[in-house]
Chain A
Amino acid sequence: MENLILQKDKLPELIEKLSSNHVLYGPTEENGFSLFKQISNFDELNLKYLLTRVPPKSLIFKQTETLFKFTPGRKGTVTSTEINEEKSLIFAIRPCDARSFKILDPVFEGNFEDPFYISKRKNTVLIGLTCNSPERNCFCTSFDDSPGSTENVDILFTDLDDRFYVEVVTEKGKNLIKSVEDIFEKSTKNDEDSKRNIVTKSVESITRKMDLDGLVPKLDKMFDHELWHNTAQKCIGCGICTYLCPTCHCFDMQDESSLREGARIRVWDSCMYPEYTQHASGHNPRAIRMSRVRNRVYHKFSYFPKNEDITACTGCGRCIDYCPVNIDIIDVIEEVGVISNE
């Protein structure tokens, strides 16, 4: 399908149409920050912010998921949860956040298939939005990604001031556009150039860079280095860096029940919490903050690339923005580089 143009004044119509047959999530503003919420109306949408505070992983890998229900006793039963096949759509997802699903896919669709994630992933169309003005801690370009990348979205919108340039990338995207084709116009070469210029400007404005060159072997040699202790000394173990990270996927499973019924639920957890690794015996293999901070770095930049051939970071910068004690992942990786060159 060729690329299209959507005049900005047609956006309300598009939102209305799409939300009539999809659960449509879009960024909304609330208490001075942005969150993805289900919307049905253009007025609820807020595109002022670059990234939502909580990443859109929460829409596919839900914070609380019911795995199955049970009733107790000798005649007890176990009922599996019905898989929700609802069609949904994430509007204005940024390219880095879209890329996070590529990183989460092998976790939930790999050796062990998670039906909840899979169905939501399959039934969700990702409509991306190019970042016209990246922020101070963006570094997606370090991962060969770009603020205007079409790679991980079904459709990509780019804001050209009075209109959106619309690139239809996948079959899923094509099918969606077909249903609302009449509100789009044809695009010209000129539009394509405008997008290219915007992306070039955005890429230039990204100042932070992470050096990933040879990082895996470097880390292999550094497991016992004092860097981890020094870094972790200021970590307060709050878990913000993992809860807000689009690629973090630690979870816990617990049974919740009242007298007559109960359910096994899955909830987000974090490797930054001591309880995460606490054994029933009381022993904790990651008993100190040093080992937890180190694990976060190794999981993202060593274990994950080894196992899945992709680094588990998208360069969104959330962990840098919101870590209350300035544990800056780019800085940590830079120190790894400096130390290995010594």
Chain B
Amino acid sequence: MVDQQLLIDEVKKVVSRDDVKYVIGYKKGTTGFTISPAFAYSTEYADKFIFNPLCKKNLAAYPLLEDKLPLKREEKEDKRKIGIVAKGCDTRALVQIIQEKGLNREDLVIIGIPCSGVIDYKKITAMFPNETAYSTIEEEQGFYKITINGKVHEIAKEELLADHCTSCIAPNPVIYDVLIGEEVEPWDLEEHKNLDVLEEKDVGERWEYWKEHFDRCIRCYACREACPLCYCKECMADLLNPQWIRRSVNLSENTAWNIMRAYHLAGRCVGCGECESVCPVNIPLMELNKEIEKDVKNIFEYSAGMDSEEKPLFGTFRPDDPEEFIM
């Protein structure tokens, strides 16, 4: 468990630095098991900061989302650093963005959180559909201890753990300026749920599976907006001339969109699970991401977001890259 007071103290230290604009972290949400991203500009606000297993949201998207107003005359751009509370996968997202030169390492102060896996919001709300508040939530040896209305519920970790965490290669922050507490022991990696089942199927059966999912996509592009690595200034999906994907919502366009999204994250996706968790119609996007992640690892021995000095997967090649498929 992350020591809350230690976290708050560190956030206070960072936010009071002259060269820091604000610190991004988590606070309790307004209702049920929600968690809200929080932006501390002052030490007082930092008192609201928390970290518990519900803090799933990857905050790495925020530094790039910052609203930039046109500067007034003589006004100078505020170039101070942004502080950010980050778990393993969040730091991987930052590393990946830094590698792609989307952010500068110097512009961030990273408050690293050793993570032991997070709770899937959809799972916990399904388990307690009508609870409007919880008082505490703690992890203890394979259990989550959740106190609701004075009553303590002990729930086995695997019942609530987010699926993507079982195959997490970096629960400890990859980069950080301060670390809250001790590093955690990495756990035995499991393959992402359902991948083996899908791989066993033949190609036609797989299409039946995905067809049903893609058909349901409402093309809200929330999966894109939530992803820290979908930060293109103009997404190919929004281009009108040429228009790669029509705006009509039907199986053909939806499939093209989902291929486009998954493909553009090949070698870039850090497996944080944001896309799948925001998808309003529960499309198992992590199955696509994790399959690609596996291929990238097997074929090119590459994992995204581990080293900011590395070249991006598709920006480089090796003379001996496999080519048995080439005629």
Contacts and interface: CB of A to CB of B under 8 A. Distances in A.
Interface of A: 30-33, 35, 53-54, 63-64, 133, 135-137, 207-208, 229-230, 232-234, 236-240, 243-244, 252, 254, 256, 265, 267-268, 270, 273, 275, 288-290, 320, 322, 324-326, 328, 330-331
Contact of A243 (B29, B132, B280): B280
A159 B39 CA distance: 46
A289 B66 CA distance: 9
A54 B280 contact: yes
Interface residues of B, number: 43
Given A32-B126, A233-B39, A234-B39, A325 B57 contact: yes
Contacts, number: 118
Contact of A207 (B35, B65, B132, B220): B132
B30 interface: yes
Contacts of A137: 31-32
B36 interface: yes
19 contacts: A30-B216, A32-B126, A63-B218, A64-B248, A136-B131, A207-B132, A229-B67, A230-B39, A234-B37, A234-B62, A240-B220, A243-B218, A243-B220, A254-B240, A268-B218, A288-B69, A324-B278, A326-B35, A330-B30
Contacts of A238: 220-222, 225-226, 278
Interface string B208-247: 0000000010101110011000000000001010000011
Given A54-B281, A232-B67, A240-B280, A252 B247 contact: yes
B255 interface: no
Contacts of A31: 216, 281-282
B36 A326 contact: yes
A236 B67 CA distance: 11
B130 A240 contact: no
Contacts of B35: 326
Contacts of B225: 236-239
A172 B68 CA distance: 53
A232 B218 CA distance: 24
B30 A328 contact: yes
A64 B250 CA distance: 9
A256 B31 contact: no
Given A32-B282, A238-B226, A256-B246, A326 B30 contact: yes
A326 B222 contact: no
A136 B220 contact: no
A239 B221 contact: yes
B249 interface: yes
A232 B240 CA distance: 28
A238 B230 CA distance: 12
Contacts of A331: 30
A267 B30 contact: no
Contact of A289 (B67, B248, B281): B67
A328 B29 contact: yes
B99 interface: no
B36 A234 contact: yes
Most chain B CB within a 10 A radius of its CB, from A232, A240, A265, A331 = A240
Contacts of A133: 130
A269 to B, nearest CB: 9
B65 A289 contact: yes
A243 B216 CA distance: 14
Contacts of A270: 220
A54 B218 contact: yes
A240 B185 CA distance: 37
Interface in B14-35: 29-32, 34-35
B218 A254 contact: no
B277 interface: yes
A135 B130 contact: yes
A232 B61 CA distance: 14
B57 A324 contact: yes
B129 interface: yes
B240 to A, nearest CB: 8
A63 B219 CA distance: 10
B132 to A, nearest CB: 5
Nearest to B34: A326
Contacts of A324: 57, 222, 226, 274, 277-278
A338 B240 CA distance: 44
Given A63-B218, A326-B35, A254 B281 contact: no
Nearest to A236: B225
Most chain A CB within a 10 A radius of its CB, from B29, B39, B61, B126 = B29
A289 B69 CA distance: 11
B280 A322 contact: yes
Contacts of B36: 234, 325-326
